Structure 1
Amino acid sequence: LITKEHAYESNGSVYFDVSSFSKYKTILQNISQEDLEEEEEEEEIDYSIIGEKKNPKDFALWKKSKEDEPFWESPWGKGRPGWHIECSAMAIKYLGETIDIHGGGQDLKFPHHRNEISQSEAYTGKPFANYFMHNGFVNIDNEKMSKSLGNFFLVSEVAEEYDPIVIRFFLISSHYRSSINYSLDNMNQTKKNYDKLLTTIKKVKETPLIEGDTEITEKLITLIAEAKKNLIESMDDDFNTPKAIAEIMTLFRNINRAIIENNNKINEKFHDDFFEFIKMVDDIFGIFPNLEKRLQNEFFIPMDEKDELINSLLEIIKYTRSELRAKKVYDLSDEIRKRLRDLGLEIEDN
């Protein structure tokens, strides 16, 4: 980079000269060179030497080491690589001069990725990456997750409370470039939506098949084909997962209305097309693994049915304790009450 006059040494450090790279300001921005030149004229930026740098925006490729810092010997003295040059060196060595996809958080777009692109392309003369994908953040109750705020936790911790597939369903409900807000309300709503999907799948699976076509089955078959087309178009549009999920939810609502609410029968063509669609959704999003087991497992009972089941179980427990006390088996009755109290459930004996 020094030989190509894209960098210069100053006081034992080496800096990238941003003025030598004409695309520096337009990288990752949808503005034209013409607009940029007009902007610069208005700004009247002073490019005089400031400290060690010719330009305040010049960044370190090699940094002179301070006392007691790790260092390597170099033609410019003891020092270490700059933050940005490390990534370019590793990418070019192991992935080649042009890579297909470069990822990273939104906070790395500038200055890190802009500087990474500048130094790499100035060095190779080739595009550094064909696509940059910058992901949004997971916020907690509308605040950025961080250890300093005490709202930091791991996916493994959330997975103790929620099925990992529900977590995945929650994450893809937002576009990867957008931030998403994690809260108990949002997670519980996601779980309800996912349970609804499973309920619909189970209903279609259990509905008896009829011979021939009906107006309803023909309409539903058309809706499946449209949903499939729209889903693929959504994913082709920069992985627009929220739009794709909306297509799935809309289709399932229509199927619910036709089969569950109106008790319509289905034919083999609809049944096969529906489960082919489910397979496609699982291949893309991975939200229906081990589907047979999921449909049979009790913790995927819809929320309203779960509430009813829990209330019924509590009534059985209360009745059992009452019978035990009537038979003067107080030890066992008290043990049941103690264990319920440990779970946060209080029972008072009248």
Structure 2
Amino acid sequence: MTTPDKPLIMLVGMGDLSARVLTLLLGHDATSRVVLAGRDAETARRRGNLALFTAANLGRHADIRSVGLDLRNVAATAETLARVRPDIIFMGASLQSWRVITQLPKPVFDELDEAQLGPWLPMHLTLNHLLMRAVRDSGTGARVVNAAFPDAVGPVLDKVGLAPTVGIGNVANIVPALTHGAAHLLGAPVEEVELRLVAQHYFSHYVPRFGDAGEGAYHLDVRVAGAPAAVDHHRLFAQLDNRLKRLGGIDGQLLTASSAVRVLHGMAADSGVRAHTPAPGGLPGGYPVRIRRDGAELDLPEGLTVERAVRINEDCQRADGIERIDDDATVHFTERESAVMNRLLGYDCTSVKLGDCPHWADELARKYGEFAARFDT
């Protein structure tokens, strides 16, 4: 039986990120009831057993189950959700991880990366759309925490009333480094430094790689012991490509997993913990929030309105390759970034209707597979 103090959390998708999230979840009693869901139920079961035994070695006890789940079958997924009745769903599945293109030779990756993440949206939106339809049809009222390009997936699905509750990663991944960098510049204890950052995925992707904000709009508020503090943004951002540079790629998934667990634990415990999340309530981009049982409440810095914060993220979204999202959930991609995809992959897609996402995802997977095969050794 699900109890108010210990909700049942379902992890959908058994990739590297979900595996790391699972391990971290079991370190907290409030998040120790978990059901793993994936297309391969046997792999999910074995993954669950590994986490269970690891937790036992550390003196932690957990309740872990596993179920088979094929997101492409909406009716069957809805039936499974209605039977299992998770309180919170962590969506870790995607048709192609953002990490895949990082395996290309670096000069090739650098060229393709100029397309930004926006044009890859069908890979992340397709399964989220199917999941959210199943959640709706299940009648469970489960809250969904999305890891797959939430900055854009959330606002697209919000247009049709199917936005996940909140996202993880992206803006949350850059805040710890910025906090340490600000503490260094201000000569202040890091525990006394508090940041509130409004920024879309592009910003959190670009700054650690290049040490500046590029074309990304953002809003950053810094306080020390509650008092406003002035920080040179140029010097602050430069540290992330220097003294505060971290491992990325698959190693960097640990940071993303920790951001997910902060949100999941905050919801499970109804803690009100401060965090940064993408797409709270389907808004575009990332925001400072407080995490409650039902999701995230905006915690914007004084003087910054919701409307202004949304405009900042919509501006930054264009730097990420998404021109706009129409009221009917049609997504229009920017000309420059679309041209990169067309030139390198032969993938010519300037806009996507929500219902056509599976087609474009299949087309993109085929085109990318042909492209990547040229560099296999």
* TM superposition score normalised by structure 1: 0.22
Higher relative contact order (CA 8 A, sep 6+): 2
* TM superposition score normalised by structure 2: 0.21
